[in-house]
Amino acid sequence: MIPFSVLDLSPVTQGSTAADALRNTLDLARRAEDWGYKRFWLAEHHNMTGIASAATSVVIGYVAGGTQRIRVGSGGVMLPNHAPLVIAEQFGTLETLYPGRIDLGLGRAPGTDMLTARALRRDLAASAETFPQDVVELKSYFEPTEPGQLIQAVPGAGLRVPIWLLGSSLFSAQLAAMLGMPFAFASHFAPDALLPALDIYRERFKPSESLDKPYAMACVNVFAADTDREARRLFTSVQQQFVRLRRGTPGQLPPPVDDIDSVASPLDRASADHALKYSIIGAPDTVQQGLADFIRLTRVDELMVTGMVYDFDARLRSFELTAQAHARLAAEP
């Protein structure tokens, strides 16, 4: 059975604070480590009151320092927002502090709206165009230094931190294939290009020093509970969040409701449900079957699981039930 990993967005729920969210993130990471998940990734988003992981490298250090074995990384760092050398220094520092446990996933989007992107003080049009060159530059900072090299990442040089390319379209799939890098697809909110992107990545992959064959991961929403009904109710929080995002009014993660149609128009719900197409919702048997079907559909080498559940105890229970489903799948002949 392929490994399972966790993507956590450090959700700030209605009535709570960013401090609460970050404490919950560390608690979840510790439990995910005990439950056998391979990685624990955090994502860079800016100017979003419902997500506490904007300073992604800082949160990665917090989580890595509070765990023992699980790999911790970014899913991802939005490289157009940063100079490659700065990211190399940040992740070189993390790798120095927590050797063999740090992953660097890179995205091409700004991770926010255009107004906030300008506040980040980057020329996003130019940065997006130079993304391939920036990736190559960033990779070079983790290689051993050459005689006479004038610029180096300290720490960072020679550490060869594993770098992933993340995407929700075909672009990063093609680039990951060309550079011989592992690839992760954001199917948990962008379902349309999932299968074409995986096909392109596998067909065009060129082996590199760091990877001799394609290694693909996809992310899926999982809302697991003791009953199908309760799982569907938990899912209404993220449905509401997507509706609000589409309306241009994002905010903190709302509590679940008994009837999503009472708070969302048919058009809003259809749009949200399309974005959340790859969501597995239900009791343990339902979740186990859904996971098996998704793995069979995508043939991924690793599965990343996310779940924006409002109640933290219910969120923990969802990831625990998913880990149990993984164990049962692994035990199948």
Q: What does each of the 333 residues of the chain score in pLDDT, given as a tens digit?
A: 999 999 999 999 999 999 999 999 999 999 999 999 999 999 999 999 999 999 999 999 999 999 999 999 999 999 988 999 999 999 999 999 999 999 999 999 865 677 777 777 666 566 667 899 999 999 999 999 999 999 999 999 999 999 999 999 999 999 999 999 999 999 999 999 999 999 999 999 999 999 999 999 999 999 999 999 999 999 999 999 999 988 888 899 999 999 999 999 999 999 999 999 999 999 999 999 999 999 999 999 999 999 999 999 999 999 999 999 999 999 998
Contact status, residue 2 vs residue 301, Cβ threshold 8 Å: yes
pLDDT for 34: 98
Give domain status of residue 249, yes or no.
no
Residue 81 corresponds to which amino acid? N
pLDDT for 110: 67
In this structure, how many other beta carbons lie within 10 angstroms of the beta carbon of residue 174?
Answer: 18
Give domain status of residue 261, yes or no.
no
pLDDT for 246: 85
Contact status, residue 325 vs residue 24, Cβ threshold 8 Å: no
Residues 6+ apart with CB under 8 A from 106: 74, 76, 77, 78, 79, 135, 138, 163, 164, 165, 166
pLDDT for 250: 86
- Integer Cα distance of 176 and 172 in angstroms: 6
Residue of 207, 152, 145 whose CA lies nearest to 176: 207
Give domain status of residue 76, yes or no.
yes
Give domain status of residue 238, yes or no.
no
Provide the number of structural domains found in the chain.
Answer: 1
Give domain status of residue 256, yes or no.
no
Can you give the pTM of this predicted structure? 0.96
Residue 45 belongs to domain spanning: 4-223+279-331
Contact status, residue 5 vs residue 28, Cβ threshold 8 Å: no
Q: State the pairing for strand pair 302-306/102-107.
A: unpaired
pLDDT for 128: 66
pLDDT for 121: 67
Give domain status of residue 263, yes or no.
no
Contact status, residue 198 vs residue 168, Cβ threshold 8 Å: no
Give domain status of residue 269, yes or no.
no
Which CATH number belongs to the domain containing residue 186 in this structure?
3.20.20.30
Alpha-carbon 101 to chain mean position: 16
Give domain status of residue 230, yes or no.
no
pLDDT for 61: 98
